[in-house]
Amino acid sequence: MEAAAHDALGLAGVPQLGSQRQPTEEVSSLLAKRAKFKRSHQVVLLRVGARGTDGSYESARHGWRIGKRWIDTDSPRSPEWAVIVVGELVTGVHRIERWEPAPIRGRSRHAASGSVARSTYRYSFAGPVDPELEERYVGKSVAAYLGGGVPSPVTYVWCGPHWVNSPR
């Protein structure tokens, strides 16, 4: 019975004896359709954390290690959309209008007490929600784009040479 259910749901792996209970979020992630980004959709996947992490715009837009070559929005190689990813699922899509140095909170030896210093290697994106792309991608899995092992919090898709950015 268990093996038949696994096959019917398309779950990977072989069922084992014992409890197969999993949290709803984990099952949803396993059953989610795969996001297939069009070549014309140059995106940067920004992984904000595991399931349950706040993926709101204000919490997700700050503090990303983005190379300087990618923050020039006039470059044909830079990403046009920021895709917010919680766990392996897309939770939001924003059109990138600009990148700005991210604020560094807390004390710094270069900043006066209580002030906000600016980072030279971390950036925040600014831009509105893209309703069309949200309808297309929110709730979809990006696991195929993340690769094996521990995925980077920043993944570029269809930016730069296209043959480098294709999913496995």
Per-residue confidence (pLDDT) for residue 24, from 0 to 100: 53
Residue 70 lies in a domain: yes
pLDDT at 30: 58
Q: State residue 107's pLDDT score.
A: 41
DSSP letters for the chain: -HHHHHHHHT--S---SS-----HHHHHHHHSPBP---TT--EEEEEEESTT----HHHHSS-B---GGGS-TTSTTS-SEEEEEETTEEEEEEE--EEEEEEE-S--TTS-TT--EEEEEEEEEE--B-HHHHHHHTT-B-HHHH-SSS--SEEEESSSSGGGS---
**Does residue 30 fall inside a structural domain?**
no
Residue 19 lies in a domain: no
> 16 in a domain, yes or no?
no
Q: How many CB atoms lie within 10 A of CB 51?
A: 14
Per the structure, how many domains does the chain have?
1
pLDDT tens-place values along the chain, 168 residues long: 666 776 777 666 665 655 566 555 555 555 678 999 998 999 999 999 887 888 899 989 999 998 888 899 988 889 999 999 998 999 999 999 999 998 776 544 334 444 455 556 899 999 999 999 999 999 999 988 987 777 789 999 998 754 445 554
Range of the domain at 82: 35-164
Q: Is 52 among the domain residues?
A: yes
Q: 């917010």: which residue's tokens?
A: 84
- Against a cut of 0.75, is the pTM above it? no
pLDDT value at residue 32: 77
Question: Quick check: is 29 in a domain?
Answer: no
Residue 6 placed within a domain: no
| Per-residue model confidence (pLDDT) at position 83 | 96
